[in-house]
Every structure is written in C-alpha cells, then in structure tokens.
Amino acid sequence: MEQSLERVNHILEALPYITKYSGKTVVIKYGGAAMAKADLKESFAKDVVLLKYVGIHPVIVHGGGPEINRLLDTLHIPTEFVHGHRVTDSATMDVVEMVLTGKVNKQIVSMIHAAGGNAVGFSGKDGNLSQASKTKIEVEIEGKPPEFVDVGLVGKIDKIDPTVILSLLEKGFIPVISPVAESANGESLNINADTFAGELAGALKAEKLILLTDTSGILIDGKLVTGLNRALVKDYIKKGDITGGMIPKVDCCLSAIDQGVKRTHIIDGRVPHSILIEIFTDRGIGSLIE
C-alpha cells in the first residue's frame, strides 16, 4: 500500500506541470547517447508520446552523427571537423541527407509509432519549412586575428516558416525533423541540429526548448548549475567556466529566448525518461536557462 501511495504522489507531483503546459509546444533536440542505446531510445519515445497524450505538443529535431560517420567510413569518404562542424562537400552532403532524412528520421518515427504515438517525419527542406545560406566557421588562432574557414555545404538558418508544423500539430501528429535545409538556389545544406532546434523553437514561440546532451547539464567547478539567465551565462563564458561544445548550446538557448521561447533546458539524455523528469518534477534534472 505504501508503495502504491508513493507512486500516486509522484503522479500528483506532475499535475500542476501538466495543467501549466497543456496546449503548449515543446521543441526537443534528440541526439547523443539517447539515440544509441536501445533502452534510452525506448524511454525517449515513451516520453514523447506521453507528452502528446497529456496535451503538450512535442516537436522533435534530431541529429545522427555516428550513423553518418559509419556510412562515410564504409564508402571510404574522408571526413573532417572544424570546431565541431563537419566539413561537407557534395559527396558528404549526399550521405548526410541519405542518413538523416532517409534512415534515422524514419527510425525515430517508427519508435514513436511503437510507443503508441502518431508521428510524421521529414526534413527542413519539406513544406517550405526552412531556408538557409552557406556559412563560414570562425577559428581563433593564438596571436593572430580570427580566420573564417569555408566548411563547404554547412548552413545557417535564414528563415523558418512553421506553417507545416502548425498544421501537423493541429491534426494531432508529432513532427520529427532532420536538420537539412535548402538555400535560395535549391542547394542542400547541413545544419547543426541544436541550431536548427533553437531557430524552430523561436519561430514556433515554443514554451520550451530542450537539448538532450551527453552531460548532466552546465557544470561549473564540477557542479551542475541551473536557474541561469543571459548575464550569468555570458559571465561564465567570459571567465572560462563554460567552454568548448557547451558554448554553441548555450548560445542556441539564448537565441531561442530572444525569439520568444519561455524556457530552455540542457539535460542529460543518458538518463532514462530525462524529459519527463525535467518537465514534470519539482527538482528537474538539468540546467535551466530563461
């Protein structure tokens, strides 16, 4: 009986959050370990379906780097990274699009269906969802002015038209989007999944942007920090407490907030049901930036 009451109390803890967020849109960037382990894949799909059934509208943007690497290796196509961005020539872009849109996207849709949801998968090129342009990556070299490196068919989002997303949400579907966009002249471009998710969340004026990562969140002196704002984040970056790959993630969160997203979260995708823990419990699990 005591165990049953404890379970009921956990359910009741979620009630105010269900009430608060029902009818709201949550954009989730799905990547890292959460995409690699069978138990984490299953828990992710169940989390997303549960969100939908309690009236929250999840929108998924996914990565797929390891799958891309495997196919590039099989095809003997060399790959190179500059500051975390894949150098993308036309052959690599073909593989990126084939893997992300043709394989990984459909696997995620199938996972959601198996968990009892109703998903539709597509890329940023479909439904006039996004338009992008080629970008160069700024590289800092000690003692020299920054250089801008051409990394090929890598893009930045110029425009998001969320009409197709809104239509799907209205009809009860869960959109699953691969981060491939099209330029004004019809060229396919590889977009960082975090960046794509942040821009999409901004265009949708989402309640939340959630980034699933392979860390417990933002760590300062080895301790998880949360309840952050722009001033605190910028101060941590200036002092060198936030470095490396975490900088683009927090920049993505700040950009989303600037575009009207209420709250952004960087959470540990290695923990089963981390999405539900972050949204529906008092303590949460990761780092909140608002």
Tell me what pLDDT residue 163 has: 97
The share of the chain scoring above pLDDT 70, in percent, equals: 97
- Of the pLDDT bands very low, low, confident and very high (cuts 50, 70, 90), residue 1 is low
- Of the pLDDT bands very low, low, confident and very high (cuts 50, 70, 90), residue 247 is confident
Looking at per-residue confidence, does 239 or 2 come out higher?
239
Report how far Cα 8 is from the mean position of its chain's Cα atoms. Answer: 31
Choose among 26, 43, 17: nearest CA to 283.
Answer: 17
Q: Which two tokens stand for residue 229?
A: 């704002």
Q: Which helix (H) or strand (E) holds 1?
A: none
Q: What does the alpha-carbon distance between residue 24 and residue 131 come to, in Å, rounded to a whole number? A: 25
Residue 64, marked binder: yes
The reply to whether the predicted model has a pTM over 0.85 is: yes
Residue 65, marked binder: yes
Q: Which two tokens stand for residue 21?
A: 């967020």
What are the tens digits of pLDDT across the range 169-185?
999 999 999 999 999 99
Compute the average pLDDT of residues 64-72. Answer: 91
Please answer whether residues 10 and 47 qualify as being in contact, where contact means their C-beta atoms are separated by less than 8 angstroms.
no
Q: How many domains does the chain have?
A: 1
Tell me what pLDDT residue 142 has: 67
The SS3 assignment for 159 reads: strand
Which residues, 6+ apart, have CB-to-CB distance to 16 below 8 Å?
none
What are the tens digits of pLDDT across the range 117-168?
999 999 999 999 999 999 987 777 666 777 888 889 999 999 999 999 999 9
Domain range for 258 is 2-289
- Of the pLDDT bands very low, low, confident and very high (cuts 50, 70, 90), residue 282 is confident
Tell me what pLDDT residue 61 has: 98
Tell me what pLDDT residue 255 has: 94
Tell me what pLDDT residue 143 has: 67
The SS3 assignment for 34 reads: helix
Tell me what pLDDT residue 2 has: 62
Residue 190, marked binder: yes
- CATH (domain of 205): 3.40.1160.10
